[in-house]
Amino acid sequence: MGLPEQSWVGVQEKTFSKWLNSKVKARDVAVKDLVTDLSDGVILIHLLELLSNESLGRYASKPKMRVQRFENVNISLDFIKSRGIQMTNIGAEDVVDGNRKIILGLIWTLILRFTINDINEEGMTAKEGLLLWCQRKTACYDDVEVRDFSASWNDGLAFCALLDIHRPDLIDFETLDKNDHRGNMQLAFDIASKDIGIPDLLDVEDVCDVPKPDERSLMTYIAYWFHAFSQMERVENAGRRVEKFVQSMQGAWGMQNSYEKRMEDLIREIRAQRGAWAAATFTGTYGDAKEQSTEFAAYKRSQKRRWVAEKSDLAALLGNIKTKMSTYRLRAYEPPNDLKLEVLENEWSSLLKAERDRSQIINETIRDIKDTLRRTFAEKANSFAETLSTLSLAIAGLSGDLADQLAHVRRLHANLPPLSEYLATLATLSGKCEEANIEENDFTTYTYDELCYELDLVRGAVVGKMGFLENQMVAREMTNLTPIQLEEFESVFRHFDRDMSNTLQELEFSAALASLGLVYDEDEMHKQFVTTCAGKGHVTFEQFIRFMVDVTEDQNTAEQVFQSFKEVADGKPYVTELDLRHSLIPDELIEDLLASMPPHKGPDLQEDRHLPKFDYVSFMEKMTLGDSANEETEVNGSRNGHGEDYH
């Protein structure tokens, strides 16, 4: 049993009014009473213009006369008929005079034409199509069975099911109280209005409180649901198509972005390299030039090879992009003008030219630096060698007065320190030549080592000559020594003056005296040294000669020589080669002594059993007369009486 006539009319009037107001809201007009507010035709014209998106022409916007109302309504009815919409028994007077049922029929006709008739499901009528849509969407819900547009909607579950199937994020169908019809209906209406944007055409009581709700009102309202969710599905389908397209194109876009980014980076790096080469300068040193040469070689081994590979990859990548775009039947990809392959080829040609220029300037710079180093070293080396030669000739050509010669040699000696400083400059140049791998120099025959050696020779010659002259000056004053003695003393002094300083340190002084047969114990020797050097820490040639003059007179007796042999032999009646060497007698004198002394034939000490022993006692007897024989007797007697002293 349906609604009483008065009830369904009221529901339709309320629903249709809400539908109409939702459409004319954009014109800032609205109906409060559907019957009276449409009587002047103005709102009806607004509605038709909005539904059709067309203008109905001139009309009376504020009709005051009945005839103006008739004209407005006829404009509306004529437009409806022009769109092929069938209307039966509807005239302008029905609208102007407020025929409720006729007006509701007119609005329903417009609802069917502009809201419901575009619903198409498998070629069915709009009503059948809308019902089929509702049935398909709710088929998976056991608690919902949509048979019509009336009683099937009483419990609100059908609306909730439509929400759940399309927007499960807004409603949880499984948790609903299936017996709470009004609560479920209100929940569905609230969500539809607030979250979906569906106009509130119906109230809960219009559906829940009657056995059979008004069909036209429900269809009008449910049509909004269809359009809202169909639009949502169309958007989703469109989104899926766009997504599929984008997924297909992402590879191509990624390849395009990669091409452009890599091409931009490569061109920028090439230009930066050329700029760096153009701005590069040389300090003039071989080390700097060689470092730049090494960097250039490293560039060709690594960076350039990477660029060659990248250049090839970019050409292949561009070809692949064009192939992919052709596969998708899309417009062929063309890189930006500044990223085309032709631009890269031009940059590459410029790079190769800059590379050749860079190689040439590095090689020329290295050659110039090497040639400059050769010439500079040769110029200084030749000049230095000439100076050394001049010094050598000056020393060799000395003659005349000793004092004049000594003064001249001292002047030459004063020139030695500057020569050492000059040699340090040559050492620096030689090091630079070695660093530059210069092995041959056509501008000189001298090397740094040769010049060092020659300077040492000249220095030795100058120092030696100066010492010799100084000593000769001293010797000339020593009139109480024979020439042979002077020669011997000078020879010994020179022998022990190892550093050619024309002085003797304490150990050298001791050895020199021992070689001349003057042997002292350690304390006595130190006293002699301190006295002789006068506290200067070394003994000059003059001091040495004067010392020898003082001691010579009492050191030439046979007894003194015999006593010296005895001290060298440590009291033994024989002497060994080892004893002689320990006394620091020069090697050539030891050899002469060993060749002159007879072998010892008497008893010997245990530690000397395997050493050759020489009889210095017999040697002295043959060389001298007098006291030495007595000394021999004393020695032999002493040893014979105390054999244990040497066994």
**What HEC string does 198-211 produce?**
CCCCCCHHHHHCCC
For residue 640, the model assigns a pLDDT of 37
Q: pLDDT by residue (tens digit) across 5-36?
A: 557 788 899 999 999 998 999 889 999 998 89
Residues 453 and 429 in one domain: yes
Residue 175 lies in a domain: yes
Residues 173 and 229 in one domain: yes
CATH code of residue 569: 1.10.238.10
Read off the tokens for 85: 């919409």
For residue 1, the model assigns a pLDDT of 41
Question: Structurally, how many domains does the chain consist of?
Answer: 4
Distance CA 346, CA 335 (A): 16
pLDDT tier, 635 (very low <50, low <70, confident <90, very high otherwise): very low
Residues 625 and 486 in one domain: yes
Residue 322 lies in a domain: no
By three-state DSSP, how is residue 287 classified?
A: helix
Q: Check pLDDT > 60 for residue 631.
A: no
Residues 420 and 287 in one domain: yes
For residue 637, the model assigns a pLDDT of 39
- Phi and psi (nearest 5°) for 351? -65, -45
By three-state DSSP, how is residue 539 classified?
A: strand
For residue 344, the model assigns a pLDDT of 94
Identify residue 442 by its one-letter amino acid code: D
Q: pLDDT by residue (tens digit) across 382-418?
A: 999 999 999 889 888 888 888 888 889 889 889 889 9
**Which of left, alpha, beta for 463 (phi over 0: left; psi -120 to 50: alpha)?**
alpha
Helix (H) or strand (E) holding 627: helix 627-641
Residues 296 and 441 in one domain: yes
Q: Find out whether 239 and 176 touch, Cβ atoms under 8 Å.
A: no
Distance CA 62, CA 341 (A): 71
Distance CA 198, CA 196 (A): 6
Highest mean pLDDT among 27-31, 244-248, 478-482, 578-582: 27-31
Short-list 153, 109, 107, 129, CA closest to 226: 129
What lies within 8 Å, CB to CB, of 30 at 6+ separation is 21, 24
Read off the tokens for 351: 């790079």
Helix (H) or strand (E) holding 503: strand 503-504
Residue 329 lies in a domain: no
Domain boundary, last residue among 246, 271, 292? 246
Read off the tokens for 199: 């106009």
Residue 259 lies in a domain: no
> Which regions of 19-170 does DSSP assign to beta strands (E)?
none
CATH code of residue 83: 1.10.418.10
Read off the tokens for 188: 């569905």
Residues 591 and 485 in one domain: yes
Distance CA 160, CA 186 (A): 10
Least confident of 42-46, 207-211, 548-552: 548-552
For residue 501, the model assigns a pLDDT of 84
Residue 637 lies in a domain: yes
Distance CA 508, CA 496 (A): 6
Q: Find out whether 122 and 132 touch, Cβ atoms under 8 Å.
A: yes
For residue 446, the model assigns a pLDDT of 92
For residue 349, the model assigns a pLDDT of 96
Residues 286 and 425 in one domain: yes
Short-list 492, 499, 496, CA closest to 507: 496
pLDDT tier, 209 (very low <50, low <70, confident <90, very high otherwise): confident
Residue 319 lies in a domain: no
CA 583 remoteness from chain centre: 71
Distance CA 286, CA 293 (A): 10
Distance CA 544, CA 490 (A): 9
For residue 121, the model assigns a pLDDT of 59
List the alpha helices (DSSP H) in 436-576: 448-477, 483-496, 506-515, 522-533, 541-552, 558-568
Distance CA 570, CA 190 (A): 135
Distance CA 425, CA 513 (A): 44
Read off the tokens for 384: 């230095």
Distance CA 1, CA 210 (A): 10
More confident residue, 154 or 604: 154
Short-list 444, 268, 267, 424, CA closest to 345: 267
Domain boundary, last residue among 201, 225, 246? 246
Residues 635 and 506 in one domain: yes
Q: What percent of the chain has pLDDT over 70?
A: 92
Read off the tokens for 586: 């020069």
Mean pLDDT of 116-140: 82
Residues facing residue 575 across a β-bridge: 614
What is the DSSP secondary-structure string of 76-104?
Answer: HHHHHHHTT---SS--HHHHHTT-HHHHH
pLDDT tier, 500 (very low <50, low <70, confident <90, very high otherwise): confident
Q: Check pLDDT > 70 for residue 97.
A: yes
pLDDT tier, 608 (very low <50, low <70, confident <90, very high otherwise): confident
Residues 134 and 86 in one domain: no
What lies within 8 Å, CB to CB, of 385 at 6+ separation is 446, 451, 454
- Phi and psi (nearest 5°) for 67? -65, -35
What lies within 8 Å, CB to CB, of 272 at 6+ separation is none
Mean pLDDT of the chain: 86
Least confident of 84-98, 272-286, 566-580, 617-631: 617-631
Read off the tokens for 571: 């009291």
For residue 43, the model assigns a pLDDT of 93
Residue 345 lies in a domain: no
Mean pLDDT of 235-260: 80
Residues 429 and 469 in one domain: yes
Distance CA 309, CA 303 (A): 10
Q: pLDDT by residue (tens digit) across 64-95?
A: 899 999 999 999 999 988 888 887 788 889 89
Residue 262 lies in a domain: no
- The number of helix segments (H) and strand segments (E) in the chain equals 26, 4
Instruction: Work out the end-to-end distance of the chain between its first and last CA atoms, rounded to an integer number of angstroms.
Output: 161
What lies within 8 Å, CB to CB, of 167 at 6+ separation is 191, 195, 196
User: What is the residue range of 639's domain?
Assistant: 481-645
- Residue 397 sits at the vertex; the CA angle it makes with 394 and 401, to the nearest 5 degrees, is 105
For residue 326, the model assigns a pLDDT of 84
For residue 477, the model assigns a pLDDT of 67
CA 602 remoteness from chain centre: 89
What is the DSSP secondary-structure string of 566-588?
Answer: HHHTTT-SSEEHHHHHHTT--HH
Mean pLDDT of 107-122: 80
Residues 453 and 599 in one domain: no
CATH code of residue 419: 1.20.58.60
Domain boundary, last residue among 477, 511, 538? 477
Residues 508 and 457 in one domain: no
CA distances from 192 to 187, 197, 325 (A): 9, 6, 44
Distance CA 80, CA 49 (A): 11
Strands 539-540 and 575-576: unpaired
Distance CA 389, CA 379 (A): 16
